[in-house]
Every structure is written in structure tokens, then in C-alpha cells.
Structure 1
Amino acid sequence: MSAEHEQHPLFMPLVFVGGLIFGFGLGFSHMAQPEVVINFLNFDDFGLLFVMGGAAVITGITFFGIGLFRERAPLTGSVYARRLKTLDRNVVLGGGIFGVGWGLSGICPGAAYASLGVGNIFILYGIAGMFVGAYIQGFVRSSRADEDAPATAAD
């Protein structure tokens, strides 16, 4: 790794602090409780909308503003750039599948970990399911990539 792309020594501690703030915010707002999320999905409680909306506004302003003052990220040295993702079949299907899992479990990945912090030990089933589901998806994707690879003379 070149000196230009070495991680700043404060990178990992700041990631930890960010996670700490994120987890505290989820716990404080009660968003780490599956019952609250289910109530949102049943249109009984719109608190999650305000929590997510507030987070999105603050994050959007921060990422927009930082790009005006800095060309590179201070801790990683990476160039600030937009990552454009097209709305394709995988995004739509993956979002739908994610939504079904979210609705059935009542919790999304970040909140699942925070839910452990508020004493919801049963969320470990959901976390295990997330890992197994991601592993299966990776296995299927790599299998398809192997099938789609052109045959070579060595085959």
C-alpha cells in the first residue's frame, strides 16, 4: 500500500466512536426494538420515519458540505466521489427481498446489533439468518459467475 493510501491511525477508533454514537442513537430512539419497527411497518407509529429522515438530512448535509471544503477524505486519503448505481433488476429484487426480511424480523441489520445492546438476546437468530442469507447469496453469485465464464482450451 502506498503512503498516499495508508489509513490514518485514528481511522479505526473513529469508526468505533461512530458505531458507538449510532448504537446509542438507535437505543435512545427505541429503534433497536423490533416491536417499534413492526408498529412502523403497520403504519401505527411513524417515529422510525423521523429518525431515518433526520439521519438522512444530517448525513446528506455533511457529505455535501465536506466535498465543498476538501478534495480527499482526511483519514483515508480517498477522493470524494459519487458512486452511481443504476436502478437495475438486482436492486429492485434485492430491495424487495430485504423488505420481506425486514418485515418478518422487525429489524434491519444495524438495528439488530444495537438490539443486542438493549438486551434482546433473541435477535441473535435474526443476525445468524442475515449471515447465512448473505453467504447463500454469495455462493449463488459465485456459482453463476463460474457458469458464465467462457470455456478455455484447458477445460
Structure 2
Amino acid sequence: MRQNLISLASGTLFGAGLAVSGMIDPARVRTFLDVAGAWDPTLAFVMAGAILPMTVAWFVVRHRSAPIAAEQFHTPAISPIDRRLIGGAALFGIGWGLVGLCPGPAIAALAIQPLPALFFIATMALGAAIHRFALSPSRSA
């Protein structure tokens, strides 16, 4: 129960930060990505501002034997850069550039722009389902 409350509070804080920073506004994201035109660097400051707390968090993780609300840390495994990773990153970037949303801001945008965000989330879920059932390595072997 405690972990669920911490997750809820963290997600709420994250969503509020996305909303306050303007990262859920597709027009602002597109002007940030338009480096050859009317570039708006505002979101670069938002992303740079996330580096400091994340640096502190990784420092804390390295110096603790266990987290506060769990028995052990769950850190991501290191995996090699391969074609699937590059292809997925490219697809993510193309989608972000075309639509102006990525998964976190899209979920936060449900509170402000429910119809466009819901359409984005539905198509994102469809893409995940296609990948899982048609393109996953276990199915292609």
C-alpha cells in the first residue's frame, strides 16, 4: 500500500511538472523541435532542470543498501545498442515531432486536452500491441 501511495504521489508530481512546464502542449513541443525555424528553447531548460535532481537521486542510490519503500533497488539492465533500439528511438522521435506528445505528457494531457490525448494514447497502445504480438523476438523465431 505504501509503495502505491508513493507511486501515486510521484506520478502526480511528475504530471503536474509536465503541465506547468508546458511539455503537454504539442505546439510548444513542435517549436522546441523546430531548430531551423522559430525555435523556442524553453523546453531545453525544463530538460536541463531535470538533470540536477536525477544526479542527486543516482548519488543517493549508490550510497544506500536499500530504498525507503522497497526491499531492493530495481535499476535498469545495461543492454547493447542494436538495430531494434535505434529503430525504436527513431520511431519515437518521428512520432514526437509529428504529434508533439510522448507517453508521459500524453497521459498528463488527458486532464487538459482529453480527446487528442486519448487518441494518441489509443494509437500508442495499438502500436505496443502490434509490437508485442507480431514483432516480438519470441514470435519471430
CA 1:65–1:120: 2 relative to 1, 3 Å = same
Runs of at least 4 residues of structure 1 off by over 4 A?
A: none
Aligned residue number for residue 125 of structure 1: 119
Local SS of the residue matching 2:110: helix
How far the C-alpha of 1:81 sits from its partner, in A, is 4.9
Alignment pair present for 1:93 and 2:87: yes
Task: Select 2:58's aligned residue among 44, 57, 63.
Answer: 63
Aligned counterparts, 1:13-24, within 5 A: 13-24=5-16
**Cα RMSD over matched residues?**
1.7
Normalised TM-score (structure 1): 0.80
Aligned residue number for residue 50 of structure 1: 45
Question: Percent same amino acid among aligned pairs?
Answer: 33
Contact kept, 8 Å, 1:73 with 1:80, in 2: the verdict is no
Name whichever of 96-105 and 74-83 sits farther off: 74-83
Can you give the 5+ residue segments of structure 1 that lack an aligned partner in the other structure? 1-8, 149-155
Residue by residue over 1:82-125, the C-alpha shift from the partner in whole angstroms, topping out at 9 and shown as x without a partner, is: 62121111111110011111111111100001112223432211
Alignment pair present for 1:75 and 2:69: yes
Separation in 2, partners of 1:64, 1:82: 16
Contact kept, 8 Å, 1:72 with 1:80, in 2: the verdict is no
Larger Cα-atom Rg: 1
Separation in 2, partners of 1:39, 1:101: 15
Contact kept, 8 Å, 1:37 with 1:48, in 2: the verdict is yes
Normalised TM-score (structure 2): 0.88
Separation in 2, partners of 1:47, 1:73: 33
